[in-house]
């Protein structure tokens, strides 16, 4: 491999357009020799850092070094944001509002189930001793927690009035 290449040769070698190469040259990211050639080894190292293939080596405090490092950090952050946006689009992550809605729904369902105890438990608890009462309460609590672990869709079957309550709350605000 050659030690120095022309702009056209190096753009083919690096797989980038000549326009991008000229941009890097004009910003001072890459440099040319007196004859107008590009040092292949130096340019490959700089492009590897820019593309995130290699960690930047701390250089001096001159403007050009700081600019290179800042551009590298910017590209890394931009790539991370693109990955996050893709993950959100693919449904890997939920937005904060969706999570808040889901949690408020779960809390509503729990409230409904616990409020229903006042109607369903007295007949079951009458004439029972303390040990039997504790067993019944544990069974009911286990049932509710099992529903919760089954997911929101399973709980939704038991939550009547959720949509109506949510609509009323929306009207009040």
Percent of the chain with pLDDT over 90: 6
**CA–CA dist 5, 40 (Å, integer):** 7
The first and second tokens of residue 71, run together, are 């551009």
The arithmetic mean of pLDDT across residues 34-62, rounded, is 76
The arithmetic mean of pLDDT across residues 88-107, rounded, is 77
The arithmetic mean of pLDDT across residues 49-70, rounded, is 67
Which of 81-90, 91-100, 127-136, 163-172 is the most confident on average? 127-136
pLDDT higher for 18 or 93? 18
pTM: 0.34
**CA–CA dist 28, 65 (Å, integer):** 10
**pLDDT for 58:** 54
Give the confidence band of 78 by pLDDT, cuts at 50, 70, 90: confident
Give me the residue spans of the domains in the chain: 4-89, 96-172
The arithmetic mean of pLDDT across residues 34-60, rounded, is 77
What would the pLDDT profile of 135-170 be if each residue is shown by its tens digit?
988 888 888 777 777 665 555 555 544 454 444 555
**CA–CA dist 149, 100 (Å, integer):** 18
| CATH architecture assigned to 4-89 | Orthogonal Bundle (1.10)
């Amino acid at each position: 491999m050659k030690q120095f290449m022309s702009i056209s040769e190096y753009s083919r070698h690096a797989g980038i357009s000549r326009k991008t190469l000229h941009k890097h040259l004009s910003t001072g990211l890459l440099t040319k020799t007196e004859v107008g050639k590009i040092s292949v080894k130096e340019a490959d190292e700089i492009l590897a850092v820019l593309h995130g293939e290699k960690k930047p080596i701390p250089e001096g405090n001159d403007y050009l070094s700081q600019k290179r490092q800042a551009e590298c950090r910017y590209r890394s952050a931009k790539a991370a944001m693109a990955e996050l946006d893709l993950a959100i689009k693919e449904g890997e992550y939920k937005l904060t509002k969706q999570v808040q809605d889901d949690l408020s729904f779960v809390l509503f369902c729990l409230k409904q189930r616990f409020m229903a105890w006042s109607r369903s438990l007295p007949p079951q608890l009458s004439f029972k001793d303390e040990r039997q009462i504790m067993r019944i309460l544990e069974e009911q609590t286990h049932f509710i927690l099992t529903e919760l672990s089954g997911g929101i869709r399973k709980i939704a079957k038991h939550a009547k009035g959720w949509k109506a309550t949510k609509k009323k709350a929306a009207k009040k605000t």
